[in-house]
Chain A
Amino acid sequence: DAGVIQSPRHEVTEMGQEVTLRCKPISGHDYLFWYRQTMMRGLELLIYFNNNVPIDDSGMPEDRFSAKMPNASFSTLKIQPSEPRDSAVYFCASTSTGSSYGYTFGSGTRLTVV
């Protein structure tokens, strides 16, 4: 299994631009999570899906952030418009009910907004 795949690995964008981060979970996993990691705040859960349905988006910072999961093998996290304070590493993780919720994390996307 290739694991959780995220793209791009690095993204540098200008303030005000739209940014789209992508994630492919492990096949058969029914949960998908988006986390943001910064020095100041550590790991923050932004949103998670179960069977492609958003369950809890209370961690999404504001309306500029949106996430979708159109099918079981793909999810996106979009920031529009981006701001310098959005600079962070964004991790995607997946798990399944049968694994007792041991998450598998992707390699992350390091986002820099200048």
Chain B
Amino acid sequence: AQSVSQHNHHVILSEAASLELGCNYSYGGTVNLFWYVQYPGQHLQLLLKYFSGDPLVKGIKGFEAEFIKSKFSFNLRKPSVQWSDTAEYFCAVNVKRSSNTGKLIFGQGTTLQVKP
């Protein structure tokens, strides 16, 4: 079965520190990749997505992610975090099949706490 693994469950950073959150998936075929953010008490919002083309994708609020096919990874990065980035981050994968079900598989999430 396909799965998504996020390496860090809880990350604590100071403001202006750089961020990298790991995400690996287990599927050998073609995938769409997503990062979602959930601010405290709110619903999930799309941060960025990769479908094809340039493996380095840029999202909102200065976030970016790099798809490395050989490593089955889609790590999220931000050069300088802000206190307002405190949230939970979810990596998700949609497996492209002939039936193209549209089903997204989510990782377990990483809680980011940014200290002012």
Which residues in A have some Cβ–Cβ distance to B below 8 Å? Answer: 31, 33, 42-43, 45, 48, 50, 55-56, 91, 93, 95, 97, 100-108
Separation of A93 and B101 alpha carbons in the complex (Å) = 15
Cβ-defined contact, A100 with B106, below 8 A: no
Cβ-defined contact, B45 with A31, below 8 A: no
Contact of A43 among B101, B103, B109 (CB under 8 A): B109
Cβ-defined contact, A42 with B106, below 8 A: yes
| A50-B102 CB under 8 A given contacts A101-B94, A102-B49 | yes
Cβ-defined contact, A105 with B106, below 8 A: no
Nearest Cβ on chain B to A70's Cβ, whole angstroms: 20
Residue interface bits B2-37, CB-to-A below 8 A is 1, else 0: 000000000000000000000000000000101010
Q: Tell me the count of chain B residues lying within 8 A, CB to CB, of chain A.
A: 22
Which residues in B have some Cβ–Cβ distance to A below 8 Å? Answer: 32, 34, 36, 42-46, 49, 51, 90, 94, 100-109
Separation of A23 and B22 alpha carbons in the complex (Å) = 32
Contacts of B107 in A (CB 8 A): 42
Nearest Cβ on chain B to A103's Cβ, whole angstroms: 6
| A31-B49 CB under 8 A given contacts A42-B108, A43-B90, A91-B44 | no
Cβ-defined contact, B44 with A95, below 8 A: no
Cβ-defined contact, B102 with A101, below 8 A: yes
Contact of B43 among A31, A50, A55, A105 (CB under 8 A): A105
The chain B residue sitting closest to A45, CB to CB, is: B103
Cβ-defined contact, A105 with B44, below 8 A: yes
Contact of B104 among A50, A103, A106, A107 (CB under 8 A): A103
